[in-house]
Amino acid sequence: MGNRLSKIYTRTGDDGSTGLGDGSRTGKDSLRVTAYGTVDELNSAIGMTMAADGVDDDIRDALAQIQHELFDLGGELCIPGMAMVQPGDIDRLETVLDAFNADLPALKDFILPGGGMAAATCHLARTICRRAERDVVALGRVETVRPEAQRYLNRLSDLLFVVARVLARRSGHGEVLWQHERRPRG
């Protein structure tokens, strides 16, 4: 970080614009700002999952690494032309996902968000991740976005789903299954 922030407010955004990492300015409602803002929101939701009781070190460590990578992704989105997310980051997500998924039973039903506070916040992070992915796709339709950004978010949402399942089971709450037969037909 080249410049330290000694003053948090600058007043430069009072007109509805914000500065990008390359020094240019754009509207706070631009697709680029929306995309990296949603990535920031996702990072915060992952922080909530990590702060929940009952999150074991293996999950906490994986999520901490992801938080750093999401910060990099936000930087990549904030600085047009920057490349920070690497194919190896996506490969690592797949390895972590496979390891957490190995002991889970095969899915036979849809799972509802829930299963204890840690699992529920992880499901929330998963849905924010899906929105971040949609925002990056929308940005990519009008500006250049490296495919690694979209691939990373796609894989991360899968990983967060699996981690939510693990958290629900480890907490003793269990997974909340969708009961498709709960309504009378007619």
pLDDT digits (tens, 9 = 90+) for 110-121: 999 999 999 999
What's the CA gap between 64 and 44, in Å, rounded? Answer: 11
pLDDT grade for 171, boundaries at 50, 70 and 90: very high
Q: Is the pLDDT of residue 23 over 80?
A: no
Q: List beta partners, residue 177.
A: 111
* pTM exceeds 0.85, yes or no: yes
Q: Is the pLDDT of residue 8 over 70?
A: no
What's the CA gap between 117 and 49, in Å, rounded? Answer: 8
Residue 3: predicted pLDDT: 61
pLDDT grade for 44, boundaries at 50, 70 and 90: very high
Structure tokens belonging to residue 57: 């070190």
pLDDT grade for 17, boundaries at 50, 70 and 90: low
Q: What's the DSSP call for residue 10?
A: -
Structure tokens belonging to residue 99: 């390891």
What's the CA gap between 150 and 32, in Å, rounded? Answer: 13
Percentage with pLDDT > 90 across the chain: 74
